[in-house]
Structure 1
Amino acid sequence: MSSMILESLAICAVTWSLWRLFRNVVVTTHLDNIPGPPPSSWLRGNLPDMFDRQGEAFYRDLIENYAPVVRLQGAFGRKILYIHDPRAMHSVVVKDQYSYEQPDWFIKSNLLTLGPGLLSTLGDHHRKQRRMLNPIFSINHMRHMMPMFYNVGHKLRLAIEHRVRSAPSEIDMLNWMGRTALELIGQAGLGHSFDPLQEDVTPDIYAEAIKAYVPALYDLSVYRWTTPYLSVIGRPAFRRALLEWVPWKRLHKLKGVVDIMHRRATEIYREKKALLDTGDEALTLQVGEGRDLMSILLKANTLAAVEDRLSEEELIGQMVTMTFAAMDTTSNALSQILHLLAQHPDVQTRVRQEILEARHRSDTRDLSYDELCALPFLDAICRETLRVHPPATFIFREAQRDMILPLSEPIRGLDGTLMTEIPVPKGTVVHVGVLGSNMNRRTWGEDAWEWKPERWLAPLPEAVAEAHIPGVYSNLMTFIGGGRACIGFKFSQLEMKVVLSLLVSTFVFEVSDKPIAWNISGIRFPTVGVDGAKPELPLKVSVYRGSV
């Protein structure tokens, strides 16, 4: 009798699994009527093109040659919608955001690698964490962090100046931007110093792990969809033993990176917690003087109602998430700007003049928060770079129930009918088109694909305001919108402007003779040539010897 029951259960499990696997082929929906590029195979669909690090041509084809809602195919025929229609994006990331949560594979893989931070939680759990974190990213706190930003920025300036004082030199600016971004989030975010920014210092293992995380995870992108199934196999100890047994180098690399990140984050958390327990005076003697984001969060967490407090595991998860999110995005965006300035020396000269003139008018050596934010051309360069070259372009959501997706304008289906709205079945993955929205010619004009900082110095096209783009920053989708918008975008903007104001006023950046290729990834990164394995950005750097 028991064997019959087990046999029946096994048959049911196999049948259910096969149905889940093949239902996308058997069952047709309205999504099948939406035009889209053909998949490379049924097994992997369009995923190889979507995650190709030189896949910009694929995305440009989607944006330029298809409607603002495109049907793609995931693994085993699963439907994916790529959208950059403003009304559709507003529905997904704002109006119906809790009906379009991040996919289970994304949440589970983040939970396993980053811990239970903002990028790994959903629903009420996510809202609780965000309520606790929102106040620490206020403008008032940003003002208090200016001395820390400048302290790190001046160390960077001196380190580079030491290398180029006697003659121009080729410098890997991505490496220096990465070290600087880590030290900025270390001091201002965690109250911890990782790097004195000196040439002969051995890189901090935490820094190396954070830098290696995205490439290691990206190498497994096509397989991340399996995470929800793998995460329920046995207990954590069993899964860890299984990972160590599987002879897969890429998987072992990611595991090693994750272990280092969590070990160092736990050490830093416990050190800070011990200092906090001894009183505020002990914190004021440390890096950040108790004004760093983590110190403020720990104090707020202690004072919060019991039901609102974050657990130790969550706090460590926030540390890992905060460091990862702030380091690569900011450092790679800064590197992108420096590369663009090297390619456009007239723009570099103009923004340098703006910074030097502002410093000449200022009463202090370093520009204040208000003075820095009042530099229109520097601001325009940052905005335009984040428009054309958003650091992160892979934003996914998954319909939690059957939905109706509204459209700003009708699209024509494969059968010739006009579709004014799209029924979206539960489980459909939606790829929010950050690049598609930022580069849409109908919104930004015929020069949308050109990098033109001066566009921000004049009124933007009326179509930009009329589109009602749901991004949290400057009519762009770079930092997304809604309840999962980037919580630290103001922090990032301020970091970038402080670093650029110091570097551009001190040095001249020129392209080297090495070809630079920018690669699409979880976060964009440069390499020497399209086949380069190492992220790097060699630029020719010399001391600026002019004057206002």
Structure 2
Amino acid sequence: MIYPPFLQSIPVLVAALAVWTALRHFVFSHPLDKLFGPPPESLYMGNLRQMFAADGTTFTRSLFQRYGRVVRVYGMLKERILHVSDPKALRHILVKEQHVYEESTWFLESNKKIFGPSLLGTIGEQHRRQRKMLNPVFSIAHMRKMMPKFYSVAYDLRDILLLKSRDGPREVEMLSWVTKAALEIVSLCGLGKSFSPVNEEEGEDQYITTMKRLTPIGRGLRLTRQYFLPFVVKYQLVPSPLLRWISDRLPMPRLHQMCEVVDIMQDVSLGIFAQKRRELQDNGNSDENGKDFLSILMRENSKASLEDKLPDDEVIAQISTLMFTAMDTTSSALSRILWLLAKHPDVQIKLREEIRKAKQEFDEPDYDQLFSLKYLDAVCRESLRVYTPLPIITRQARQNMVLPLSRPIKTTDGKVVQSIYVPKDTIINIPIQAVNEDPGIWGPDSYDWKPERWLSPLPDSVHEARVPGVYSNLLTFAGGSRTCIGFKFSEMEMKVLLYVLIDALQFDLGQEEIQWSCSGVSTPSINDNELQPQMPMLISRADA
């Protein structure tokens, strides 16, 4: 096949990038070379294969145990990456100086290409305006009104699983059902419509099927997104309108799959937005009409001042962003909890006892009653501590900075320092997993999954560490202005589904071993098949 001249020039541009990067990374010294860290696994890939391996958390844990809270790791062509879990440094990165340590360019640009200019693809004032407009949507007052929809979906899922287990224990692929329930909840609460009801009669909507493909496809494009896309954007090598044309002609099957996913999500989002606008016009713009997130957002946006108002493309971009983020991390967390309960039957029994005792007092608990269940809360918190759905997030220094540390460290030249110099454009890995299980914070049993730890006062070291997270002294939902805006929604969803399912059903491990891929959002699979996430479990009716 003969490619057009412009496409033929791409290898030359890539070669030029490689030469410049090699000179910058291999020849010139770098300030982060004073930090201890592992040798590169290869000159080309550095430590990336180890970090992006299916069980990348094993490598992350080894970094902490061998080198401590401040580590230098290598990216492509020996790019220096700062890997830091020091609490004081994280407070500066995520809170005090968050305007300097913004989301990395690769994260922003790839999310703009996938979702559009949504919360995931914007920074600065644009991001602030979007969060201001979305905050009323995720208020606790609004969450309380959403409870009946959560329970409705939970009952549908319970009934399906009871039907499947009516003749005795049966192996069921639980990830698909948990994901379907999570998507149905966010569809009803977020968009005011149902895409795929939780039953076996209804086929799955194409939009939902597409959404599920996004994470597995994205894993295979991680290096393209992290290295090639930012280079193209930074140096404006390809005009934006031509980028898609070029993508369609590159011999990269996963890139073509991603383009197909983006097209479907964009078309559906445009249709939902247009329909919602007609509904609001027909039914009036009163607060009594349309209780779903999108209706509230569009009403608030119509009332906003000119400087705060979001253009249509930013509102549209929130639709698939909301659907994907609410589905991906919540289904990951809930699947992990069910897996843990199957591995620890004593905990499952104790949780079922608490739930059944609560049902005698208030059959269907409201928001406050549900959050008063201490053991359910402990199971959720401990699972989100030890097995965070998103093990690592990244930031990028937008200018030269000096980063203070809570504890002094020794450098390779023998000096003891209390801060480190971070050059502009440095990529910073924030290993959420390492922070959440730091023995210096959580004690010598920090790596153990023990829900009971939340039933007693936490160690003083937990409070003294001042981890800059928004949830339970943990970094699971990040912190600062880029805190996960829907973390309360996710927490409520997990608790409602567990309250309903654990009362009625017993969950046990199946015959096949479940493996968890921690490259990106943690997902379960069998036989190392990351492209087909699944979690077969043995379910049966719980004893009355």
TM-score normalised according to structure 2 size: 0.94
Secondary structure, counterpart of 2:352 in structure 1: helix
Alignment of 1:95-110 (within 5 A): 95-110=96-111
**Equivalent residues of 1:48, 1:222 under 8 A apart:** no
Deviates more, 1:202-211 or 1:531-540: 531-540
Alignment of 1:397-476 (within 5 A): 397-476=395-474
**Equivalent residues of 1:472, 1:479 under 8 A apart:** yes
Identify unmatched segments of 5+ residues in structure 2.
1-13
Counterparts in 2 of 1:33 and 1:111: CA distance versus 1, 3 Å: same
AA matched with 1:207:
I
Counterparts in 2 of 1:174 and 1:168: CA distance versus 1, 3 Å: same
Q: Deviations over 1:438-472 (max 9, x none)?
A: 01111111111111000000111111011010011
**Equivalent residues of 2:154, 2:496 under 8 A apart:** yes
Secondary structure, counterpart of 2:108 in structure 1: helix
Residue 127 of structure 1 aligns with which residue? Answer: 128
Offset, 1:180: 0.4
Give the Cα–Cα distance (whole angstroms) in 2 for the partners of residues 98 and 157 of structure 1.
Answer: 45
Offset, 1:522: 1.5
The yes-or-no answer on 1:68 pairing with 2:54 is no
**Equivalent residues of 1:71, 1:82 under 8 A apart:** yes
Give the Cα–Cα distance (whole angstroms) in 2 for the partners of residues 283 and 148 of structure 1.
Answer: 19
Residue 228 of structure 1 aligns with which residue? Answer: 230
Aligned length: 530
Give the Cα–Cα distance (whole angstroms) in 2 for the partners of residues 16 and 519 of structure 1.
Answer: 31
Residue 277 of structure 2 aligns with which residue? Answer: 273
Q: Deviations over 1:297-325 (max 9, x none)?
A: 11000111122111111111111111111
The yes-or-no answer on 1:379 pairing with 2:380 is no
Identify unmatched segments of 5+ residues in structure 1.
1-12
Give the Cα–Cα distance (whole angstroms) in 1 for the partners of residues 174 and 469 of structure 2.
Answer: 30
Offset, 1:43: 2.1
AA matched with 1:474:
S
Give the Cα–Cα distance (whole angstroms) in 2 for the partners of residues 339 and 153 of structure 1.
Answer: 18
Offset, 1:20: 5.2
Deviates more, 1:332-341 or 1:195-204: 195-204
Residue 290 of structure 1 aligns with which residue? Answer: 290
Residue 476 of structure 2 aligns with which residue? Answer: 478
Q: Deviations over 1:219-271 (max 9, x none)?
A: 11122121123344444442222111112111111111111111112111111
Residue 6 of structure 2 aligns with which residue? Answer: none
**Equivalent residues of 2:393, 2:429 under 8 A apart:** yes
Secondary structure, counterpart of 2:255 in structure 1: helix
Offset, 1:136: 1.3
Residue 319 of structure 1 aligns with which residue? Answer: 319
What percentage of aligned pairs have identical amino acids? 42
Counterparts in 2 of 1:376 and 1:397: CA distance versus 1, 3 Å: same
The yes-or-no answer on 1:208 pairing with 2:206 is no
AA matched with 2:248:
E
AA matched with 1:326:
A
**Equivalent residues of 1:72, 1:80 under 8 A apart:** yes
AA matched with 1:347:
V
Offset, 1:531: 4.7
Residue 7 of structure 1 aligns with which residue? Answer: none
Counterparts in 2 of 1:461 and 1:304: CA distance versus 1, 3 Å: same
Counterparts in 2 of 1:542 and 1:17: CA distance versus 1, 3 Å: closer
The yes-or-no answer on 1:255 pairing with 2:259 is yes
**Equivalent residues of 1:189, 1:294 under 8 A apart:** yes
CA RMSD after TM alignment:
2.0
**Equivalent residues of 1:402, 1:424 under 8 A apart:** yes
**Equivalent residues of 1:54, 1:530 under 8 A apart:** no
The yes-or-no answer on 1:488 pairing with 2:489 is no
Give the Cα–Cα distance (whole angstroms) in 2 for the partners of residues 532 and 39 of structure 1.
Answer: 25
TM-score normalised according to structure 1 size: 0.93
AA matched with 1:345:
P
Give the Cα–Cα distance (whole angstroms) in 2 for the partners of residues 401 and 462 of structure 1.
Answer: 35
**Equivalent residues of 1:79, 1:428 under 8 A apart:** yes
Offset, 1:205: 1.1
Residue 509 of structure 1 aligns with which residue? Answer: 507
Q: Deviations over 1:449-498 (max 9, x none)?
A: 11100000011111101101001100101101001010000000000100
Give the Cα–Cα distance (whole angstroms) in 2 for the partners of residues 324 and 283 of structure 1.
Answer: 26
Give the Cα–Cα distance (whole angstroms) in 1 for the partners of residues 44 and 332 of structure 2.
Answer: 33
Alignment of 1:68-87 (within 5 A): 68-87=69-88
Secondary structure, counterpart of 2:307 in structure 1: helix
